[in-house]
Structure 1
């Protein structure tokens, strides 16, 4: 607090070591709740740095229980207020069919619009794990699992939910996206505000992330709009790169303008409906994830070869 709040000309951002120490005090229960809120809001006001995000993330990682191995980390922490159906879930499942173990982790509060998370996961054919052990069993069986934040990092969830008290998001949203609890070599991340792409790319490099793909996605999720050009901010071998992805469809559309019934998630997968825009969202998002993985698999081929049942 003294470092961040000294006033004009004297305050500065935290170093990675200072941020790690601060988060350690919070996790150990030695930080006053008022100071925690003030710290997070000062960081929001100043604008968090890659070093601060990396330091917070390191401290949180050190508090996590043992996790099952995964090839691709897929965080899902967007509020979802400006998006349509979570087609990215089908994209993640498609990537799992390439042979990659995909761990989705996140937290989604109840939404007045759109399906509840549990309903969407079931319709997308993705198992919901209660804890890391169950996530491991689902990954062994299906190649994909969703592990909620409270199932492996309840203290991080408590910090995330301070938004309900403070009325504003904090850097904890970004830290959770960077968490990569299973230590996967590749990770994808979505953002809502474009400046966070550079922030998360730089923080990922500080954390030693070898492969990373970040894009501005639907509602802040890693979900690509196939009717628009997209920049994929990447780490390849830990080095920053940018890849321009051209539109796949001729006419621009909004993600929120498509199908609205949650049942469409299952219906699209098993072929009971064939909506060109929804299908393109799934394929384009999966293709960006496969690119991040460095996988030779092609999303369109995986889609054509998928089983005609969510149980397949």
Structure 2
């Protein structure tokens, strides 16, 4: 058989197969249903490999969104994405040192400012914790992590070898999703075509590329908290802390009490109330949300500067939140002790820029 004809027949067969998944989701009231975990894994794997027509992929993603994100479906999508990108201990991460904290950053809020949580992650890395941050802030109204890193003497990693080296040397690495899982990044970018986020946003946040010992995760809408915790349970993730963070980032607002949800493998989630770290008041000068001001906060030892107090409290509070995620599961979480330890970690940080990554 002519190879061109064979490829056409094979492609048509794959597209027919994928059409079945679209039909399952979209048949109409009383006839449609969610995909099983196995069906979702197969369907999204096909989409990621290019076995489905782009129009089919668009219909698939929007039907998933319209129906509402389902635990089994999202779990299957995540497994497919990890399979295709070779993530996890069985894939490219097999050569990584043990990662203590997975930190997704996919915030897309129009009101986001500077990624203060980045300073929290760097301070934790200096304290001895290995932190792998991954993400895309393409649709955020604020500064992207990628754009701030050079001011801190760092750079985003473009391949797994760079990630392994940075984790070994600096105990911190930032891996953009476009380099970590390019097809997932392409599907995230389809937001421009849809005018809406798709379930791929949830998938990206929960990829956990290095099978870390713990994760912190921010969501924009509270209903997603239960979804993220439920998926983590199905994937048997060791520990996950989720909160409604500004712009959907894992960042603690210091001016109010905030609830976080902490779940360890095999145990039900716990809700913890973290106290405000400063009186509620105006956020301050928006010009503070710049790379230059982030660098100033990192270097500045003048705790009395009121312009930077909210930023410092954001950073310290976020360190404490991450410490709760990495606590021992057999010990009762202690927010007050976490806040105290976070302040000590922040005060002990070395303020010189880290070595540069590539």
| TM-score, normalising length: structure 1 | 0.93
The Cα of 1:256 is off from its aligned counterpart by: 8.4
CA distance 1:253–1:136, shift in 2 (3 Å): farther
The Cα of 1:187 is off from its aligned counterpart by: 0.8
Q: Deviations over 1:218-259 (max 9, x none)?
A: 211111101112111121234222212121112245488572
Which of the residues 23, 29, 36 maps onto 1:2?
A: 23
Between the aligned partners of 1:7 and 1:237, the Cα distance in structure 2 is 37
How many residues of Structure 1 are paired with residues of Structure 2 in the alignment?
311
Which of the residues 85, 105, 115 maps onto 1:64?
A: 85
Matches within 5 A, 1:179-198: 179-198=207-226
The Cα of 1:45 is off from its aligned counterpart by: 0.9
Counterpart of 1:128 in structure 2 is 156
Between the aligned partners of 2:160 and 2:62, the Cα distance in structure 1 is 31
The Cα of 1:99 is off from its aligned counterpart by: 1.1
Matched, 1:204 2:247: no
Unaligned 5+ runs, structure 1: none
CA contact (8 A) 2:214 2:240 kept: yes
Counterpart of 1:233 in structure 2 is 261
CA distance 1:261–1:30, shift in 2 (3 Å): closer
Matched, 1:145 2:173: yes
Matched, 1:105 2:134: yes
Bigger radius of gyration? 2
Counterpart of 2:119 in structure 1 is 90
Counterpart of 1:271 in structure 2 is 300
Matches within 5 A, 1:219-258: 219-239=247-267, 240-254=269-283, 257=286
The Cα of 1:6 is off from its aligned counterpart by: 1.3
Matched, 1:42 2:42: no
CA contact (8 A) 2:146 2:155 kept: no
Which of the residues 289, 294, 303 maps onto 2:327?
A: 294
Larger mean CA deviation between 282-291 and 29-38 belongs to 29-38
CA contact (8 A) 1:212 1:236 kept: yes
CA contact (8 A) 1:197 1:214 kept: yes
Unaligned 5+ runs, structure 2: 1-21, 87-91, 329-336
Between the aligned partners of 1:10 and 1:115, the Cα distance in structure 2 is 45
Which of the residues 67, 74, 82 maps onto 1:53?
A: 74
Counterpart of 1:281 in structure 2 is 314
Give the secondary structure class of the aligned counterpart of 1:184: coil
The Cα of 1:139 is off from its aligned counterpart by: 1.0
State the Cα RMSD in Å: 2.1
CA contact (8 A) 2:113 2:143 kept: no
The Cα of 1:18 is off from its aligned counterpart by: 1.4
